[in-house]
Amino acid sequence: MDELYPPIEPYERGMLDVGDGNHVYWEVCGNAAGRPALVVHGGPGSGCGTRARRYFDPARYRVILFDQRGCGRSTPHAADPATDMRHNTTHHLIADMERLRAHLGVERWLLYGGSWGSTLILAYAERHPERVSEIVIAAVTSTRRSEIDWLYRGVGRFFPQQWDRFLAGGGVGPDGDVVGAYARLMEHPDPAVRERAVVEWCAWEDTVVSAEGAGNPYGDRPSADRTALVRICTHYFAHAAWLAEGELIRDAGRLAGIPGVLIHGRLDLGSPLVTAWELHRAWPGAQLQVVEEAGHMGNEETRRHLLAAFDRFAAG
């Protein structure tokens, strides 16, 4: 089957109190008695959408989606400058996922996500491998400092004019800490300064995927969603996601015994294939599928691989 499953709506949803004044939005679709699968969105700070539901056979899966702290329908929202970001880290998100699993009475679940979502999936699974049945990742990242530096510096050699604009927006030179500069701008008391930082950050993100024909997937978001995305992204990347450099690849042996499918576009400019390859080598039994004509956003072949993986796991 190459087509997505028909649109479905949640049969259950709620707001989970995860502490620190945060409430995380969650929803469940599909078959209440089906195989549990958790969708882990990217960004960080993108929020969960409706399309991811359609990769799963609704007769065979209990599909769970949630908005990570500070974004989507979770509260408080990072677009509000009064929202305290100190309690929004990778480790908080891992704890939130565990709290959600317990709240919904799930023993083990399949994890699916891409980009930042893959980083959070790996961090969670390496800490709680006994809670994970399978993993499916499209567009592998591990948020190493080297990967962050590539995305916000290295890619500039392909788009020198746009990168100069990105640097100017952060008020730094070519050797400056551009991510840290934007993180500071997002905490500036002047809303006009914050809004300019949002515009320039999203312009750069759209530039990186511009060759994929995806339009402006970052800049075209509603204002509050864009602001939350940039504030959360800069906050996480300025701290290297609170992970030791390379730890998710280093500790991938903890995933031994968990079936995994890694799907990555060879033309992914923002997240080069090397990270997926290194994870594949370090994770015993993980299958890597390279999509020759795909970039970071994926294509029809990416979709076919995803559908095939989920159908295969549903069949046991």
Tokens of 248: 């998710």
Tokens of 168: 């100017």
In the numeric block, which tokens belong to residue 305?
């691989």
112's enclosing H/E stretch is: strand 109-114
Question: What sign for the dihedral angle of Cα 295, 148, 110, 257?
Answer: positive
Cβ neighbours for 150, distance < 8 A, ≥ 6 positions apart: 270, 272
CB 16 within 8 A of CB 103: yes
Place of tokens 């709620």: 14
The whole-angstrom separation of Cα 101 and Cα 53 is 18
Please state, in angstroms and as integers, the Cα–Cα distance from residue 121 to each residue in 72, 116, 174, 215, following that order.
19, 9, 33, 27
Encode 98-107: b = buried (16+ Cβ within 10 Å), e = exposed.
eebbeebebe
Q: Do 235 and 134 meet the contact criterion of CB atoms below 8 Å apart?
A: no
Tokens representing residue 63 in the block? 């599909």
CA atoms within 13 A on the CB side of 166: 27
Report the length, in residues, of the chain.
316
| Amino acid at the residue 163 | W
CB 181 within 8 A of CB 171: yes
Does the annotation mark 296 as catalytic?
yes
Instruction: Say how far apart CA 10 and CA 63 lie, in whole Å.
Output: 9
Q: Is 268 a catalytic residue?
A: yes
List 57, 67, 225, 268, catalytic entry: 268
- Is 239 marked active-site? no
User: Which of 92, 264, 280, 296 is flagged as catalytic?
Assistant: 296
Active-site residue among 46, 115, 142, 271? 115
Q: Which residue has the tokens 């959408």?
A: 49
Report the catalytic residues.
Answer: 115, 268, 296
